[in-house]
Amino acid sequence: MKKIHIIVCSIIMVVSYFTYASILPDYTPLESSILFSHEFHVVEQEIDCFSCHESVKSSDLSSDKNLPSMDDCGNCHDISDDESCNMCHKDADEPIEIKNPIRELIFNHQIHIQMDIDCEKCHAKVSSSNNPNVNNLPDMKVCLTCHNNLNDSRGCITCHSSGILLTDIHPFDWLYKHEAGATSEPEWCAQCHDNQSDCTSCHRGDNLTGSIHDLNYYFTHGLDAGSNNLSCQKCHDNTNFCVACHEQGLRMPLNHSKVNWRLIHGIEAKQNVENCAACHETSDLTCSRGGCHNDFDGIKGTDPPIHDTDPAQFNERGFWHKDQNYYCYQCHTSTQNSNFGFCMYCHNGIED
Amino acid sequence: MIKLFLYALLFLQLTCVFVVAADGNGQLSSEVYLYEQDSTKHTRLYQSLRFNLNLWKHYDKKITLQNYTRWTTDFDNKFTTDPQLFVYNALIFFDNIVPKSKISFGRQFVYTSTGSDLIDGVNITNRSLSNLRFQIFGGIRVNRLDPETILNDDEYKVAGVQTYYSISKNVRLGLNWFSRIQDKEIIYNRFGFNGNINYNRNRLYSRIALDPNLLTINEILFRIDHNYFKWSVGLEYLYREPSVTSSSIFSIINVNPYNRFRFNTQYKLNKQVRLIGNINYSLYEQENSLSGSAGFRTSVFSLFYNYQNGYGGDKNGISGSIYHNLNDNFSVYGSANVSRYRVQEEQEDLNDAYSTSLGITGRIDKTWQIRTEWQYLRNAIESSSSRIYLRIDKQFNFR
């Protein structure tokens, strides 16, 4: 019974192979049977590209065959001389015609030539080539130098006529491998992905799969929040993002539990003031709570300072004179009277 | 105004899918994440829809609808924000309808080198002059804690301008401004200048950000990258002064600026293997910080050593990942991460953090993809936590 299965499977495989082989287009690579030096013709003889490839001037399809015919060669060479066949044909006894590969791309030589785009911009280094081959044809990367999202927003359909499924462009293993391309050649992505959510639908901060941060990052992120806060801010707005957990979950940052936190928190505030403001400004102002940084007695120098008292800073009539709710008065609660307390710091009892 | 605008736009978009859309593509994703944390069980569901619809196209002109919306809830123990509908993008995009201009209305992410925000507003980019790209945007900021609500426009506005001028093919200069306005008062204001020069295999990028309200330089960045055959080398200097909005009471604190140097290098051993290393050294007022990583990455395997010491904490860790195609449609992958760290210098013993994951991803057909992953975590809080993640994606095209 097993043998029958093996035989049936083998027959199916062989039939499938030949069926597919007959369906697939007959592709003849341009590694041609012709001996030809572009360098000699273009550089040494200074022959213009269009002398041989004249048809490109009116070519509007990628499937057009724009290679010179033997008659074109005959404009300069004596093609009637049977003795000199092997000057161009690798195998003069059985010369092979170069077949155009089937191309489904949308490409119009005529438009590009009318825009005075130099042939070598796309056909790189063709003028120094001594052997016509596929290396002189542009790959998609060359197209993207002009047809990037900045200059041309039409995306894939600029060149690819047929409807393309996303999965055709992003192969099966794209999920694992896209990082390398996205970081080194982002213009490839930007060609189609002008919708920001294409990235953020996965890279959105939930860290469900550890794609960006490792799975334990929830527990170790304090390392980065302390020393590398700027990197966090590239993707996360600390006021919005951090507060979502720290305030709603009533979880204090780990450094707040240090035994000497009350003594050293000023240093942290100077270094990472954005982190402080993210939580402490959205709730009640912790600094002045419990009488810590609260100048309720109006006596200068009796409370731990939170800022420098630069005389030059306070000599001019600042907003605090007009605005009774100005933030000075959140801590300096003693008075708003020039004869007493906080105002006395400058006014010395003199009304101004 | 609450929710009205977003729902109206969403309704319009969904209607257009069936009625007038010329073509487009999109993706429907369902994710389930099961885990237990602090003895609380969670079964989280994330349901998202993303699509681009071309309502009208004519050569290089087109009108497109773009949307990315996600609905989140928890079947077991809900967070305070659950259930939540978060519209990340909902915009109508006019490309070249006004010649050489891109105009988008709706919810979108806007950014310059001096600030970024998710806004409900308008964003216009114009390239009428061949060497100049001019962008202007403005709108109402989205509160991420309450994304369904559009704030009163007096409360929180965002505006910005970004221009790029290409002096030549390889030299580009940029000027930008980003501002946040709350209760008619400018609370965040930044002017920025940036320059980018490409010369042979070198790239030079620099950036300066200024706070015109406080008359201070907020940030200076200078970076040079050099590629030489198989080598890529980058060197970066950053000066930064932490800052908060000018109306914040925290703005009275005299902050300490810091300097950071970065060096990174990459060597392509061959087509498959890249050796990667980077070092960061930050100079703070009290204590400096050194961090770095070194390792290699191939198309199927990666291994890195990570190090951090100084301000912010200490860490030694190793991380690795592996990927293997079983066949054309299924693949397995795994990752592991081990680290010893401390956030507080008073902490005598280092904490251990260990995580690993094993997953399988498969394509049922060209448009259906599934992914399932088992995760295991061990850390200072969770002695053992096992988690399951499941994702199903359906991609679709409109014709």
Between CA B290 and CA A147 the distance in angstroms is 42
The residue assigned the tokens 């402080």 is A276
How do B274-283 and B258-268 pair as beta strands? antiparallel
CA trace torsion B6, B7, B11, B12 (10° rounding): -30
Residue environment code for A145-172, b if the CB has 16+ CB neighbours within 10 A, otherwise e: eebebeeebbbebbbeeeeeebbeeeeb
Distance from chain centroid for Cα A215: 24
Q: Both tokens of residue A301?
A: 């120098």
pLDDT tens digits for range B58-71: 767 788 888 889 99
Examine the pLDDT at B102 and tell me if it is beyond 80. Answer: yes
**Prior bond of A68 cis (ω within 30°):** no
Which residues have C-beta within 8 Å of that of residue A287, sequence separation ≥ 6?
A280, A293, A306, A331, B249
Which residues, other chains included, contact A148 with Cβ-Cβ below 8 Å and sequence gap of 6+?
A187, A190, A191
C-alpha B45/C-alpha B29 separation (Å) is 11
Collect all residues of chain A within an 8 Å Cβ-Cβ radius of residue B299.
Answer: 177
Whole-angstrom distance, CA of residue A322 vs CA of residue B129: 47
User: What is the C-alpha to C-alpha distance for residues A48 and A127, in angstroms, rounded to an integer?
Assistant: 11
Specify the 3-state DSSP secondary structure of B167.
coil
Write the residue in A254, A308, A327 that is nearest to B249 by C-beta.
Answer: A327
- Position A21 confidence tier, pLDDT thresholds 50, 70, 90: very low
* Contact residues, B window 106-165, toward A, CB-based 8 Å cutoff: 108-109, 116-117, 127, 133, 143-145
**So what's the pLDDT on residue A136?**
78
B157 class by beta-carbon count within 10 Å (0-12 exposed, 13-18 middle, 19+ buried): buried
The residue of chain A nearest to residue B298, with distances taken between CA atoms, is A177
* Mean pLDDT for chain A overall: 74
Q: What is the pLDDT of residue A28?
A: 41
Specify the range with the lowest mean pLDDT, choosing from A147-161, A194-208, B240-254, B261-275.
Answer: A147-161
How far apart are alpha carbons B263 and B250 in whole angstroms?
33
Nearest to B323 by CA among B385, B373, B271, B277: B373
Does residue B7 or residue A47 have the better pLDDT? A47
Structure tokens at B91: 């915009």
Span A61-91, pLDDT tens digits: 888 888 888 888 888 888 888 777 888 888 8
Of residues A201, A229, A260, nearest to B50 (C-beta)? A201
pLDDT at B316: 93
CA distance B341 to A224: 12
Q: Nearest Cα to A132, choosing from A81, A212, A66?
A: A66
- Which of A111, A212, A216, A285 has the highest number of chain B CBs within 10 A, making it the mutation to test binding with B? A216
Shortest CA gap B244–chain A (Å): 6
Q: Does B341 touch chain A (CB under 8 A)?
A: yes
Chain A nearest-CA residue for B131: A151
Identify the pLDDT of residue A291.
Answer: 66
Residue A206, token pair as written in the block: 């939930």
The token pair that represents A345 in the structure block: 């710091």
Digit-coded pLDDT (tens) for B328-371: 788 999 999 999 998 877 777 888 999 999 999 988 877 788 99
